[in-house]
Amino acid sequence: MHELAEMFEEPFWEERYRSRESIWSGRPNAHLVAEVAGLTPGTAIDVGAGEGADAVWLARAGWRVTALEFSRTALARGAAQGVAGIEWVQGDARSFEPPSAGYDLVTSSFVHLPTGQFEAFFERLVAMVGPGGTLLVGAHHPDDLANGIPRPPHPDLYQSAEQLAALLRDGWVVDTVAAPTADWAHPETGAPLKITFAVLRAHRAAT
C-alpha cells in the first residue's frame, strides 16, 4: 500500500518523466477531441496535463488554457512547444485554488486515485466548473483489468462512466456516458487487446 500511495504524489511523477525523453504520444486524447469539438471556446483547465498534448490542442482550438500538472519536467516539455494561450502551472489539484468564476471547461484524463481520495478529487473538479460550464473526465475502464491490460491491480482505482455520473449532484445535465474502445498491442507479447475507456461529459446549469 505504501508503494501505491507514492503513485499519487509529486516525486513519483517527476521521476517518471525524468526517466524518459517523453512518456506520451504527443497526440490529444481522442475523447477530448470528440467531446469538445462542438463547444464554444472559453476558459479551460486541464487537470493532470502531463506533457501538454490536450492543452495544446485546446489552445489551438481557441481556448484560454490553464495546464495544471505535478511534474515540472512535464510542464517544461509542454511549454517548449511555444503555443500561445496556455498558462503552465505546477501544482496539485487537491489544493489548487481556481478563480472564483470557475472555468468554462474542466477536463481531466486518466487521473486515478483510490476510493475515498477519488471522490474528493472529483468534487474539486466539479467545483472548478463555472455556471453553464462543462466537465469532461476520461478514465481507464474497470473492464481493462479483466481483459489482460497491464495496469496496477487495484480495482478501486477505476470507475465506469456510470459510476462517475453518479457522483454528480443536482444542477448538472449529463451529456455523454460512454465506454469507447481502442485496439492495442500488449507491450511485451504483442498480443492484440482492446482497451476500454470511461468518458463522462456533463454541464452545469447556468444560474
Predicted confidence pLDDT, tens digits, the chain (207 residues): 445 556 667 777 788 888 877 776 779 999 999 999 999 999 999 999 999 999 999 999 999 999 999 899 999 999 999 999 999 999 988 889 999 999 999 999 999 888 888 999 999 999 999 999 999 999 999 998 888 787 887 888 999 999 999 999 999 999 999 999 998 887 778 788 889 999 999 999 876
Cα separation, 40 vs 178, whole angstroms: 22
Cα separation, 152 vs 110, whole angstroms: 13
Give the orientation angle of helix 72-79 with respect to helix 10-18, to 10 degrees: 50
Distance of CA 146 to the CA centre of its chain: 23
The answer to whether the beta carbons of residues 152 and 143 sit under 8 Å apart is no
CATH number at residue 12: 3.40.50.150
Cα separation, 60 vs 54, whole angstroms: 10
The answer to whether the beta carbons of residues 175 and 193 sit under 8 Å apart is no
Q: What is the pLDDT of residue 5?
A: 57
The total number of structural domains in the chain stands at 1
What residue has cell string 485546446? 58
Q: What is the pLDDT of residue 94?
A: 84
User: What range does the domain containing 195 cover?
Assistant: 2-204
Nearest to 204 by CA among 184, 160, 174: 174
Cα separation, 173 vs 177, whole angstroms: 11
Cβ partners under 8 Å of residue 207, min gap 6: 131
Q: What is the pLDDT of residue 35?
A: 98
Cα separation, 157 vs 159, whole angstroms: 7
Mean pLDDT, the chain, rounded, equals 90
Cα separation, 145 vs 192, whole angstroms: 15
Q: What is the pLDDT of residue 161?
A: 97
The answer to whether the beta carbons of residues 182 and 194 sit under 8 Å apart is yes
171 class by beta-carbon count within 10 Å (0-12 exposed, 13-18 middle, 19+ buried): exposed
* 103-138 residue pLDDT tens: 999 999 999 888 888 999 999 999 999 999 999 999
The answer to whether the beta carbons of residues 143 and 175 sit under 8 Å apart is no
The answer to whether the beta carbons of residues 122 and 167 sit under 8 Å apart is yes
